[in-house]
Amino acid sequence: MDTLEEFPPDLDEQAILVAEEYVQGVQREAKTKAIEEIVVEIHNVPYAGDDVSQNRMGNTLAIANWKYNEAVGLTLKQQANAEGVDDVTKAMLNGLADIHIGVYHAVYKDNKLDWKGSDGKLHHVEAESIGEALYASMMMVGQAIKNAVKGK
């Protein structure tokens, strides 16, 4: 029985409560199963779309955004110092790089957060450190999966 309407209409109050709990459990299980079975195909690659996979995708994009922000300032500096760049362009690129690097530092380095470490202690860390930890742990998960598939 998947809905309350499928139960006999003459149930007493206690039986109705039990029936409601049962139906809610059945519906919760159906929802969980439906979410766990989500698969989307993008560019011929099937991606699991369940909650855990979406969380991993979000983490991956967070790392990509962090790395992008880190790279933009450095790329602007490299472009400014490239051979053949005129003084006006060099000054503009250096100015943009300085602005971007300043913003990067304000967001990822100067922005300190309280973070409970796996040692159970509270640490005052840079947002950049959290990005580094996320990246490192994602690489370790990938290696663990490779090892498990190889039977190590």
> For the residues of 78-114, what is the DSSP string, one character each?
HHHTSTT--HHHHHHHHHHHHHHHHHHIIIIIS-EEE
Write the CB contacts of 112 (distance below 8 Å, at least 6 apart in sequence).
124, 125, 126
Q: What is the pTM of this model?
A: 0.61
- Digit-coded pLDDT (tens) for 47-59: 888 888 889 889 8
- Digit-coded pLDDT (tens) for 83-106: 999 999 999 999 999 999 999 999
Domain count, the chain: 2
Same domain? 63 vs 30: no
State the residue range of the domain holding 122: 48-150
Same domain? 64 vs 138: yes
Same domain? 27 vs 99: no
The answer to whether position 42 is within a domain reads no
Same domain? 58 vs 132: yes
